[in-house]
Amino acid sequence: MPKLTHLDRSGSARMVDVSAKSLVRRRAVASAEVVFNARAYRALRDARLAKGDALAVARLAAIQAAKRTSDWIPLCHTVPLDAVTVEIELVDATRTARVTTEAKTRWSTGVEMEALVAASAACLALYDMAKALDRAIEISGPRLLLKEGGRSGRYRRR
């Protein structure tokens, strides 16, 4: 079983010391989904939500959240991000917004959490924008799809 890096010898939580690690190009991709009722989905798709352009708000929420991941997740390092991208695909057949986020850096620690937090924030923003029309909105995920760079190598979800 791999050693848990966020625990010290006594089992207490700690921030990992990455000061000796070299700077490496790193990339992570995450996704999550939001499912709406028919009324809310139509309003989202047709850009008729009372609060405004939900897709633009969700993209901005994702980018802002990625940049502030260390404020959300206590043991995360503050990572200087080179890029954060957000794609939102609307799927009419299932009334779903599929959010995919990508975070990139050249740093001493990975950006998986930044991609995951970005996907989560986008979904929460979509919920907030459409909740007046659907209190039963469902959010699923987030999930890591890809991680590249660093000592542990490449990971790709099947």
* Residue 76 · residue 70 · CB < 8 Å: yes
Cis peptide, bond prior to residue 142, ω within 30 of zero: yes
Under CATH, which architecture does the 24-149 domain have?
Answer: 2-Layer Sandwich (3.30)
Kindly report, residue by residue over 54-108, the tens digit of the pLDDT.
999 999 999 999 999 999 999 999 999 999 999 999 999 999 999 999 999 999 9
Active site residues: 128
Band of residue 15 on the pLDDT scale cut at 50, 70, 90: confident
Phi/psi of residue 54, nearest 5 degrees: -65, -35
Cα gap 20→121, rounded to integer Å: 32
Cα gap 38→133, rounded to integer Å: 9
